[in-house]
């Protein structure tokens, strides 16, 4: 038995979740998720490992219908498992709240059990067993590719449901979740399905009469993957697809904020026919499941996407445990340069996309824009006009181009940055005023008159907050752009081809977008320079993150004399 009952995640009625209405709907969803009927006892939950054992028998469900007072007390994000909330029956156990971001209502919750670390052990053991017996070198690349293609077919079939779950849980507009997040993820799975039977080594001439050597690119083994909440489905696909194509097995920890689509995808994994234990999904807190995975002795590799702070912890844990391989895709404070020869209208569109797409919750968000002084005023005016055109609202509303930020914590963090910008003397050119009413909405905010030491210029905000600066020469633009500890993305807009080449050469970033921004393709590598990360995702480069090269040296003719 797995913790998640097949089909219970389906939202029914053609997937129209809204029809179920408000809190109760959320509660029902949870009940269905947890396989209980509302009686209050969670029989089984959490390890959604395909066929891996269920652990949490002794957990008790904390009703969502607790008093308002209890709700107030309940930590919105549990960063410490020792925090407990009284359940109606009087027993104590840690609780993580699920937040419906668009309404700021809790819509479901699930217990974070004391046995989370144990859950990780069981999942790792299941993954190891699968790697040893039914996956890894035991299946052909053709078969791995076939299963990945099958999974892509199923995701395509369930795009609406996945999109709705994402909209509900993350807050992003349904059409964006369904058409972009799911659509791109399907393409990513298909792309790596195609790689599965094309992982080749080299054969190397040593001495054709006596020796030769060849390399095999073996799957690394059991991989832990920790993904963030900003693109839950995409990040899942980026991580899972190359790992499976190479033959690795996976223990996946989705973000505690957005676990739902990873659970739904786990159902599809079963339906597609992946052997049990190949992918195990454990919703958990970073401090519990993430920490356990990072320091686990039997995890061969860990891939993480998230903040630089946490990335450091993971690397430290790897260093202090079994020297597991680490790949990190971390934060950014990506610069976006607009030169005087640029098509200003187009540049403004891309700059707006760069900072406002996904409500700025994007590691590549172009959060620092530097504009050449000769066109500064004109460009700023165009840009403000563009930013105003974006409708930020309910994700289920087809008109919405952007939704709320994901959580209360994120909301508070973004606002603290906006306040700090004001205090440090930056000038508000747009936004910066809180909306009244429910929801974690942050309207597009643009600061000007910035200086390099301001927090809003130095630190990653992860919200729709843009700092606009001014430069006069190309050299100055490059210096400003590179004046950061990060190096994830960078953009430049210019119609001077030589300048495009010079500047793209000089920018210190894993991706440079020329006369565009934020577009990613499954066959183009993505990752960070400097403190934005280690390793690359996407493209053939991602395969290197999930394989280890074995050199086989073969002697078929040389005789060894002894002693030498």
Please list the active-site residues.
329
> DSSP letters along 319-372, please?
HHTT--EEEEE-----EEEE-TTS-HHHHHHHHHHHHHGGGG--TT---EEEEE
Interaction residues for other proteins, span 506-535 (CB under 8 A): 522-523
Structure tokens given for 231: 């693109």
H-run or E-run covering 304: strand 301-305
CA gap 256, 245 in Å, rounded: 26
Question: Which of 75, 525 has the CB closer to other proteins?
Answer: 525
Mask 188-217, x = binds other proteins (CB under 8 A)? --xx-xxxxxx-x-------xx--x-----
Beta partners for 251?
Answer: 224, 280
Choice between 214 and 346, CB closer to other proteins:
214
> Alpha-carbon distance 533 to 487, whole Å?
8
Site for other proteins in 384-443 (CB under 8 A): none
Closest approach, Cβ 39 to other proteins, in A, equals: 45
> Minimum Å distance from CB 523 to other proteins?
5
| Nearest distance, CB of residue 96 and other proteins, angstroms | 38
Q: Does residue 142 bind other proteins (CB under 8 A)?
A: yes
Smallest distance, other proteins to C-beta of residue 197, A:
6
Q: Which two tokens stand for residue 480?
A: 């400003």
Which of 89/555 has CB closer to other proteins?
555
Give the one residue of 556, 560, 561, 562 binding other proteins; rule: CB under 8 A. Answer: 556
Q: Write the binding mask 297 to 326 for other proteins: x where contact by CB under 8 A, - elsewhere.
A: ------------------------------
Least Å distance, CB 146 to other proteins, is 8
Closest approach of Cβ 174 to other proteins, in Å? Answer: 24
CB of 421 to other proteins, least distance (A): 38
C-alpha to C-alpha distance for 327 and 311, rounded to whole angstroms = 9
Binds other proteins by CB under 8 A, chosen from 497, 560, 561, 562: 497
Interacting span for other proteins (CB under 8 A) from 35-43, 255-263, 430-438, 500-508: 500-508
CA distance readout (Å), 507 to 279, 302, 524: 38, 29, 18
Taking the complex as a whole, the smallest distance from the CB of residue 211 to other proteins amounts, in Å, to 9
Give CA–CA dist 472/374, Å, rounded.
8
Interface stretch with other proteins, choices 3-11, 185-193, 434-442, 451-459 (CB under 8 A): 185-193
Comparison of 79 and 210: residue with beta carbon closer to other proteins: 210
Count of C-beta atoms within a 10 Å radius of residue 297 = 9
Distances 29 to 32, 178, 284, 546 between C-alpha atoms, Å:
5, 20, 18, 35
Residue closer to other proteins by CB (options 5, 149) is: 149
Residue 188 or 226 having the CB closest to other proteins: 188
**Nearest-angstrom CA–CA distance, 388 and 386:** 5
Q: What string of DSSP letters covers 106-153? A: EEEEEE--TTHHHHHHHHHHHHHHHHHHTSGGGS-HHHHHHHHHHHHH
Pairing mode of beta strands 465-471, 533-534: unpaired
474, 449 in Cβ contact below 8 A? no
Q: Which stretch binds other proteins (CB under 8 A): 23-31, 452-460, 468-476, 551-559?
A: 551-559
Q: Which C-beta is closer to other proteins: that of 203 or that of 381?
A: 203
Tell me how far apart the alpha carbons of residues 426 and 430 are, in angstroms, rounded to a whole number. Answer: 12
| Residue (391 or 524) nearer to other proteins, CB | 524
Q: What mask, x for binding other proteins by CB under 8 A, covers residues 144 to 183? A: -xx--x----------------------------------
Footprint (CB under 8 A) of other proteins, residues 327-366: none
Q: Which stretch binds other proteins (CB under 8 A): 48-56, 246-254, 421-429, 549-557?
A: 549-557
Task: Looking at residues 453 to 482 of the shown chain, list those that interact with other proteins (rule: CB under 8 A).
Answer: none
Please identify, using beta-carbon distances, which residue of 73 and 157 lies nearer to other proteins: 157
Q: Which of 463, 423, 469 is nearest to 450 (CA)?
A: 469
**Beta sheet of 547-555, edge-to-edge order:** 203-207, 211-219, 547-555
- How many chain residues are in contact with other proteins, going by CB under 8 A? 29
Edge-to-edge strand list for the sheet holding 465-471: 427-430, 445-448, 465-471, 368-372, 335-338, 489-493, 511-514
Contact positions vs other proteins (CB under 8 A): 141-142, 145-146, 149, 187, 190-191, 193-198, 200, 208-209, 212, 497-498, 501-502, 505, 522-523, 540, 554, 556-557
């Amino acid at each position: 038995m797995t913790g998640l009952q097949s089909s219970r995640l389906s939202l029914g009625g053609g997937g129209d979740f809204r029809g179920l209405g408000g809190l109760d709907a959320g509660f029902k969803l949870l009940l269905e998720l947890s396989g209980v009927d509302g009686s209050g006892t969670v029989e089984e939950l959490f390890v959604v490992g395909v066929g891996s054992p269920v652990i949490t028998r002794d957990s008790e469900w904390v009703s969502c219908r607790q008093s308002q007072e209890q709700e107030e007390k309940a930590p919105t994000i549990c960063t410490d498992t020792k925090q407990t909330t009284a359940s109606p029956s009087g027993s104590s156990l840690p609780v993580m709240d699920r937040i419906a971001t668009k309404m700021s209502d809790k819509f479901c919750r699930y217990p974070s059990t004391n046995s989370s670390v144990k859950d990780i052990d069981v999942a790792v053991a299941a993954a190891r067993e699968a790697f040893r017996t039914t996956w890894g070198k035991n299946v052909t690349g053709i078969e791995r590719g076939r299963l990945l293609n099958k999974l892509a077919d199923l995701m395509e079939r369930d795009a609406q449901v996945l999109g709705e779950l994402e909209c509900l849980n993350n807050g992003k507009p349904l059409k964006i979740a369904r058409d972009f997040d799911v659509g791109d993820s399907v393409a990513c799975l298909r792309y790596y399905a195609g790689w599965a039977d094309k992982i080749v080594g080299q054969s190397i001439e040593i001495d054709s009469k006596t020796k030769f050597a060849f390399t095999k690119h073996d799957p690394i083994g059991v991989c832990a993957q920790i993904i963030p909440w900003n693109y839950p489905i995409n990040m899942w696909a980026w991580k899972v697809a190359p790992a499976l194509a190479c033959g690795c097995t996976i223990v996946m920890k989705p973000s505690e904020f957005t676990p739902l689509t990873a659970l739904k995808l786990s159902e599809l994994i079963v339906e597609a026919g992946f052997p049990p234990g190949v992918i195990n999904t454990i919703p958990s807190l970073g401090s519990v499941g993430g920490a356990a995975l990072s320091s686990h002795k039997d995890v061969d590799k860990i891939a993480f996407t998230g903040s630089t702070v946490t990335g450091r912890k993971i690397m430290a844990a790897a260093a202090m445990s079994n020297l597991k391989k680490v790949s990190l895709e971390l934060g950014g404070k990506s610069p976006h340069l607009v030169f005087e020869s640029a098509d200003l209208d187009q540049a403004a569109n891309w700059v707006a996309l760069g900072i406002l797409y996904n409500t700025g919750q994007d590691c590549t968000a172009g959060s620092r824009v530097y504009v050449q002084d000769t066109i500064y005023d004109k460009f700023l005016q165009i840009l403000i006009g563009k930013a105003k055109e974006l409708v930020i609202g309910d994700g289920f509303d087809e008109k919405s181009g952007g939704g709320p930020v994901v959580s209360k914590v994120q909301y508070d963090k973004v606002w603290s940055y906006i306040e700090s910008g004001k205090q440090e003397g930056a000038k508000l050119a747009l936004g910066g005023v809180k909306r009244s009413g429910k929801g974690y909405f942050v309207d597009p905010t643009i600061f000007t008159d910035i200086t390099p030491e301001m927090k809003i210029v130095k630190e990653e905000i992860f919200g729709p907050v843009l700092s606009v600066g001014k430069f006069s020469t190309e050299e100055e633009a490059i210096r400003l752009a590179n004046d950061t500890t990060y190096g994830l993305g960078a953009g430049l807009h210019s119609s001077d081809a030589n300048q495009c080449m010079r500047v793209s050469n000089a920018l210190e970033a894993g991706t440079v977008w020329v006369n565009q921004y934020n577009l990613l393709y499954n066959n183009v590598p993505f990752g960070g320079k400097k403190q934005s990360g280690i390793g690359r995702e996407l493209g053939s480069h991602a395969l290197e993150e999930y394989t280890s090269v074995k050199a086989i040296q073969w002697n078929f003719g040389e005789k060894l004399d002894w002693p030498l």
